[in-house]
Amino acid sequence: MRSSLKKAVCSPFFGVLIDETNGICKHGHLIIYLSYFIDDCIPTYNFYGIARGSDGIAKTIFNVVYAELKKGKLDISKLIDFGSDDCSTMIGKGNGVATLFKRHINPFLTSIHCVAHRTTLAMSTVAKNIEFSKTLEKLVNFMASFFNASSKSLEELETTQEDLACPILKMEHTFDIRWLS
């Protein structure tokens, strides 16, 4: 058993932070982090693992996370906190994952909207309203189209990067951050 998991098992309480992701193979996965206390007072966060088998349905996600916690020999009655994105599948009042943990494990469980999700959403919203950000995005997308449209242009970019002793990087288009929530 990993030392961080041993510490989580020994903690008086712990929390779970999860995020759902889909790879190129379209199989759903859950990224799981644990929050717990070291020496009964130092809050700590550690990566627990990636669990396969998420289909985007709250009951399935609940079952997968529950099984993972049991597999890690965590005392599920010590679960006091649940963190996730803000979608109804995760925090819905009727049958969201957090609600299922409250209903079946701990009625006093706290549920939080993950700070990483909030920060990313806030920053992307702000950037859309700043003229410089819009101009920069257009420039990056134009450059990516220019270099990727021609193998000769791409080859010249690589030669210039080599001449300047820079890492060889490929130009990519920007993308929006989207959560289906």
For the chain, give the percent of residues with pLDDT over 70: 90
d(CA 112, CA 91): 9
What is the pLDDT, as a whole number, of residue 30? Answer: 86
Tell me the average pLDDT across 138-147.
Answer: 90
Q: Candidates 3.40.309.10, 3.30.420.40, 1.10.10.10, 3.40.50.150; correct CATH number of 3-119?
A: 3.30.420.40
Is it the case that residue 6 has pLDDT exceeding 90?
no
Label residue 167 exposed, middle or buried (CB < 10 Å: 0-12, 13-18, 19+).
Answer: exposed
What is the pLDDT, as a whole number, of residue 106? Answer: 92
pTM of the model: 0.64
Q: Which residues pair with 49 in a beta bridge?
A: 32
Domain boundary assignment for the chain: 3-119, 131-172
